[in-house]
Structures are given as structure tokens and as C-alpha cells.
Amino acid sequence: MDFLYMLFPVSGVKTYIFIPPLVALVVSFFTSMGGVSGAFLLLPFQMSFLNFTSPSVSSTNFLYNIVAIPSGVYRFIKEGRMAWPLTMVVIIGTLPGVFIGYYLRILYLPDPRAFKLFVGCVLLYIGIRLLYEVTGKAAAGKSKMKELEDKFKKRVEELKKDRQSRIAAGLPPEAIVKTKSFSLKKVEYTFWGETFSYSTPGMLMLAFIVGIIGGTYGIGGGAIIAPFCVTVFHLPVYTVAGAALMGTFLTSIAGVFFYSVIPANNGAINSPDWLLGFLFGIGGFIGMYFGARFQKFVPQKAIKLMLGALIIYVSLRYIIQFFT
């Protein structure tokens, strides 16, 4: 199998050619169910296992998002689960943050240890909040979310029986995200007969902060904004996932542009390792397609547990590295 072992010139990575797409496929399948591309897990993988630590690792991660995300976004759009106003707010708020994040990474944080500590603390809080949400204490009084979950479970069982346990290609009209109102102050939409809302300025501010963090590390921001939408704004993860992925996709395009076009003062290589990023992206493309397709069959509690555990794992790695 030596002919499959290769050197990637830009990053200096040496590995088997099938490793990047395989890792990305597995990671993205599970993370895409919660509206996360998986880039936040692939970054530590590249740094710890592939020894890819230069600034171009951030832009390579962005490239992964660009190649991988469209398949997942396609599934959410096709099934009517794309919350377009939320997507627009996320994109508008995130783009300026990505630009600032680039300069933080290149000019002020060439050594990411200190900033990783900050990101680790933020992700730790989000992960703990997500896991708390699935406890009995947190679930008490959340009748609306419980009814929504029960509707999903009932409909999934009906689809399985009707199609003899084959994967359903679509969802009923009640499972379509429909915008009720969209203003500079507040956004309201309906899903499964229930109404959900959030503050437009609040979401913009969250997206801006997420853009800064995502621009610095090349994670797009879905790993942060999706849990916040669920835990802080109390939006169902079924409606958040598509918007988070779409926002991550567009901001990743901006990230690759910034890292490729704007030069660094210290002469470091900022542009992505195109071949490595493309291989990660191929695996992510397949994983996200099936992750978005299977999301409706996975209980919201399971998605929260999965996402919370992954985020806590990454956050602890970021925090521990600062003290070692």
C-alpha cells in the first residue's frame, strides 16, 4: 500500500491518501445532524495526528467546509427545513467577524495557545448547557419541545411502517419551516404547528462573535452557533441545522479568500493545502448528505447528547493544551 502513502507539499503532511476522506466522512455524518460541518473536530485531528500546525491549517479547514457542506444544505433545502431568515441573519453577522478573525490569527495570534484557551472555555460552557438540556430537570416545563419531539417520533414510525422500514424521502407539510414574520427586531417562524422566535439583534451579535472565532481557527462557526441557537434561543435543532450549515459554507468561502489573498507580515504560508482540503471535503460531502438525510430519524435528545459530548471533548483538549 506504499503507493497510497503520499506527501502533501503545502502542509508537509505525510499520510495514506484514503485517511483524510474516511475521517471526514465519519465525523461529518454525525455532526451534520446538529448543523455542524465537523471542521471543529478535523482541526485538532490535523494538528495532533497529521502535525499540520501552520496558519494554513485554518484555511484548509475552510476549504473542507466549501467542498463538504453543499450536500447537507441540499438535503435541508429539499425537505423544506431551511430557515432562510435565520440563515440571512447568521451570514450578515458572521462575515465581518471572519475578516477580523483572520487578522487575529495572522497578526496577533500566530501561536494559538492563548486563544484556544478562550475558545475552549466557550465551548465547554456550550457543551455543558447542551448536556444539561437533556436532563429531567431541564426538560420539566418544556411541553412545547416535548410535543414537537413526540410528533417527530410518531411520524417517523408511520413512515417506517408505510415504506417497510426504508428511508423516507420527504416529510409531511407540518414539518416545513415557514416564516411568520421577519423584522429588524424579531423573527418568528412555524414548524410542526408550533411558533418559535428570536431577537434579530441578539442573533446578529452572536453571529459576529462566532465569525471572529471561526475566522481565527477555520471552523466556520457552526459548532458554536448551532448549540447557542438551541440552548439560548430555544429553537429546535431540526430547524437550526440547515441554517448553521449554510452560514458556515458562505463564511468559509470568505475565509479561504482572506487567507489566500491577504498576505501575512511574517511571511508565513496562509493559503490552504488544496489537495488535502479537497480530500477532507470529499469525505465530508458524502457524510453530510447522509447525516442530513438521517437527521429526522434521530431523536433531538440524542443529537444534543452527541453534539454536547463532542464539544466538551474538544474544549477540554483546548484548555489542557494551554497548561501543558
DSSP calls for 248-299: HHHHHHHHHHHHHHSPPTT----S--HHHHHHHHHHHHHHHHHHHHHGGGS-
- Of the candidates 171, 222, 298, 236, the one whose C-alpha atom is nearest the C-alpha of residue 38 is 222
User: C-alpha dihedral over 80, 278, 26, 90, to 10 degrees?
Assistant: -40
**Would the pLDDT of 169 be above 50?**
no
What pLDDT does 145 receive?
Answer: 57
pLDDT above 90 coverage of the chain, percent? 25
What pLDDT does 205 receive?
Answer: 94
What pLDDT does 14 receive?
Answer: 93
What pLDDT does 35 receive?
Answer: 66
What pLDDT does 285 receive?
Answer: 92
Higher pLDDT, 5 or 292: 5
What average pLDDT does this structure show over 66-80? Answer: 85
Average pLDDT, the chain: 81
Distance CA 47, CA 238 (A): 31
**Would the pLDDT of 165 be above 50?**
no
Higher pLDDT, 63 or 232: 63
What average pLDDT does this structure show over 254-274? Answer: 81
Q: Identify the DSSP state of 181.
A: E
What pLDDT does 117 receive?
Answer: 83
What average pLDDT does this structure show over 238-263? Answer: 87
Higher pLDDT, 157 or 219: 219
What pLDDT does 166 receive?
Answer: 41
What pLDDT does 143 receive?
Answer: 54
Distance CA 309, CA 303 (A): 10
Q: Residue 7 — left, alpha, or beta (φ > 0 → left; ψ -120 to 50 → alpha)?
A: beta
What pLDDT does 273 receive?
Answer: 94
**Three cell numbers, residue 65:** 467546509
Q: Which of 89-98, 149-158, 192-201 has the lowest mean pLDDT?
A: 149-158
What pLDDT does 112 receive?
Answer: 67
* Banded model confidence at residue 93, pLDDT cuts 50, 70, 90: very high
